[in-house]
Amino acid sequence: MSESPLADWHERAGVRVDPRRVLGGDLDAGKVLFPERLIPYLAHPLVAGLDPGTREQLVARHAYQYFAFTAHFETRVVNRATELIANGRTDVVLGGDVREDAYKIYCDEAYHALYSFDVVRQLEAATGVAALPYTFEPVITELDAVAAECLPQAGSLPYLLQVVVFETLITSLLAELPNDPDLVGLVRTTVRDHARDEGRHHAYFARFFRELWTGCDLRTRREMATALPRLITQSLRPNQDAVAATLRAAGLAEPQVRDVLADVYAPDRVRQTAREQSVQSVRLFRAAGVLDLPGADEAFAQEGLI
Ligand SMILES: [Fe+2]
Ligand SMILES: [Fe+2]
């Protein structure tokens, strides 16, 4: 077996070596908190004509939501499963190395959550735009519902698949934001720090999945093949409740909010985005043999992923 992707964690992990990132004077220099092109509702006719101050508020809150999603997902979904691995509480028996690496990831994700919260607070203080309360409940409720429906035997497997899916999805934001010169350095650098850690997590969970898959019986594999595509689309689904809250705060009336959401997050567009964002994950599952099972093709196709 080749060396663990977390073998040099003590020398390279962000939580071990990176300094705290601080905002500095970038806002005065005209840098933005989030690229407008990546905020789909900004171009909607009901939003495009809002005054510049209100649009800036929307951009700020979109950035806040990106980081709030990260903080919630890391602590409530990723680390919920990582704890099971670290403490040896999974149904499958895991070796000491796999468990020790899970403790490292647990620390990484807790730190990612901490600096995500820190970034939002720094941006709030500098812009004067307050963050709205972030609603994560719909995200985790849906994820758990999919897992419960597809994997009725429960145990640790639903949580393990949730973490494998999320950690092997390399969303384009992690690659795109650090290289955007118009973005405030705090956001750029924070996302770059995060992406470096996530590269190691991706490798760990890709390997973890192959071993998990190999160790499962055929019936469990069939259930996994149905669960995986649904967990992928669920993990990539935009949090529309959170967007609705920022649109309301920008002064849109309820029917307008509904119109914007219906247009911007039309099912076809959401499916298209999920397909684009999951190419690498689908490749990984295909390489592991998931799509060779009868019915697996159809399950992935039904979610629009292949
Ligand atoms: Fe993370
Ligand atoms: Fe991670």
Distance of alpha carbon 153 from alpha carbon 108, whole angstroms? 30
Ligand 2 centre from 186 Cα, in Å?
20
As a whole number, mean pLDDT of residues 186-205 equals 97
Q: What phi and psi values does residue 32 have, to the nearest 5 degrees?
A: -105, 160
160 C-alpha to center of ligand 1: Å? 16
Which residues, 6 or more positions from 283, have their beta carbon under 8 angstroms from its beta carbon?
A: none
pLDDT in tens, 290-303: 999 999 999 999 99
255 CA from centroid of ligand 1 (Å): 36
* 162, 231 Cβ separation under 8 angstroms: yes
Distance 201 CA to ligand 2 centre (A): 5
The 10s digit of each residue's pLDDT in 9-26 is 999 999 999 999 999 999
- The residues, any chain, with a CB within 8 Å of residue 128's CB and separated by 6 or more, are none
Per-residue pLDDT tens for 230-282? 999 999 999 999 999 999 999 999 999 999 999 999 999 999 999 999 999 99
Chain segment 175-187, per-residue pLDDT in tens: 899 999 999 999 9
The structure tokens 């005065």 sit at: 28
Cα 109 to middle of ligand 1, angstroms:
5
Q: How far is the CA of 53 from the centre of ligand 2 (A)?
A: 35
Closest-lying ligand to the alpha carbon of 105? 2
Q: Give residue 257 CA to ligand 2 midpoint distance, Å.
A: 33
**SS3 of 32, please?**
strand
What is the CA(197)–ligand 1 centre distance, in A? 7
List the domains of the chain with CATH numbers: 52-302 (1.10.620.20)
Report how far residue 135's alpha carbon sits from residue 145's, in angstroms, rounded to the nearest whole number.
17
Indicate the DSSP class of residue 220: H
pLDDT tens-place string over residues 214-223: 999 999 999 9
Classified as helix, coil or strand, 51 is: coil
What percent of the chain stands above pLDDT 90? 94
The ligand that comes nearest to the alpha carbon of residue 75 is 1
Do residues 306 and 297 lie in contact, with contact meaning Cβ atoms separated by under 8 Å? yes
Residue 1 has pLDDT above 80, yes or no: no
Cα 118 to Cα 97: distance, rounded to the nearest angstrom: 32
Distance CA 46, CA 268 (A): 21
Identify which ligand lies nearest to the alpha carbon of 78. 2
